Amino acid sequence: MSNLTNKKRPPKLSFTDQSAIAPSGVGLQYSELGQQQDAIPVGTQDQAANVAGSTSDSHNLDSSVRVRFDGHDDILISPSSLTVTKQLGRGQYGVVEEVRHEGSGFRLAVKRVALRPGDDNERTRLLMDVDILVKSTECKNIIKFYGALLWEGDLWVLMELMDCSLYKFYRLAHRKAETPVNNATDARKQFKTTPLGPCTHVGDNVELGNCDLCNPIPERVLGRMAADIVNALSYLYSIKVIHRDVKPSNILINRIGIIKLCDFGISGYLVNSVARTYEAGCRPYMAPERIDPPRDRTGYDIKSDVWSFGITMLEIATGRYPYQNARDFFEQLKSICTDEPPKLTKGRFTATFEDFIGQCLRKDYQTRPKYDSIETHPFILSNRNLDISEFTEKVLSNEVKA
């Protein structure tokens, strides 16, 4: 552990973003264990407004911010009051760390970004991320923004601390090895496993989709996860935002089973319900119409996020990325565009869940449902109020003991 003010500034990051070749879990991840604290940001609207100028004017932000935890008096947070307890992730644009406030003992996540003059891409991502966080404070399924600091040329974004990403969570549940993925070949070796077969244990109080032996993450738990994710995406749509990077590593979970969406750096605002930047996002999770756009169509809409969500849910349910067997990245993209959509294994999940995934992964975007339709699907309605805290605690506790 170290105090942030005594810590050497991180070197200029040269991380090469491998999101184009690795199934998930790359980029500025937030995937290690932590602990959620209930905190209320104080004055975040004003703080966020100042972030816009912070890349060119170092006087727009203060070196401290006030945050209210659990209804207590406002706590003044400054770099000298924070101690790093672990690194949660790092990427092309910065590092995310778990920190502890020495005066109160509360823990939170800090994203530190080195502000480089003239880096328009970095500035755009940063502004988009903070802007959406501030506008989403009313949504329980979007990560909380507490405030921002400026210290020694770095912008610090203070956020709610969760326990881990769904990418790490499903791997813990499925007991998969966590060997780092460095390239496409490693990705294929790591994720290639034997095909899933139908469940043969139904009966004797064992429900299809909720068999401990065949479903490391029970279907009812998946239903609650899906409900929370859709709630977050639907809220974004209500403020005319498309996420554009929905995948397991950008969805967080805590020990009480609450799901939160994060990482809005490449999100975009919809104009007449349409977005037009095709390059933004992780290609293995992109919808076919984004990889190979129809000639008679300009732009894409939220249904592309519905596809990404469907791929994400299928991956979490099965413990494997559905296009894992492609020989290389280009074959993978070709499969997404030309092959039949991936499906859940027959006889392992209920017909309701199979239908839910099937609707989200319709190749024809015109027939793919929007959020209002997804939210009323029986798979969501029957599981959205389920308490999954006992299951999430069990999975995360096993990880701590390992």
> How many Cβ atoms from other residues are within 10 Å of residue 120's Cβ?
8
Is residue 96 within 8 A of residue 13, CB to CB? The reply is no
The CA-based angle 5-120-276, given to 5 degrees, is 130
Give CA–CA dist 151/156, Å, rounded.
7
With contact defined as beta carbons under 8 Å apart, do 78 and 149 qualify? yes
CB 361 within 8 A of CB 311: yes
- C-alpha–C-alpha distance, residues 363 and 357, integer Å: 12
Cα–Cα distance for residue pair 264/231, rounded to 1 Å: 16
Q: Kind and range of the H or E element at 91?
A: strand 82-91
> Looking at 154, 245, 301, 305, which residue is catalytic?
245
CA 26-31-35 angle, 5° bins: 165
Does residue 245 have an active-site annotation?
Answer: yes
What is the DSSP track for 133-195? HHHTTT-TTB--EEEEEEETTEEEEEE---SEEHHHHHHHHTT-------SHHHHHHHH--PP
| Beta-strand runs (E) in 243-297 | 251-253, 259-261, 268-269
- Beta strand 39-41 with 65-69 is antiparallel
- Structure-block tokens of residue 304: 């592309």
Residue 370, annotated as binding a ligand: no
Q: Which of the residues are catalytic?
A: 245
From the annotation, which residues make up the binding site?
A: 111
From the annotation, which residues make up the binding site for ATP?
A: 111
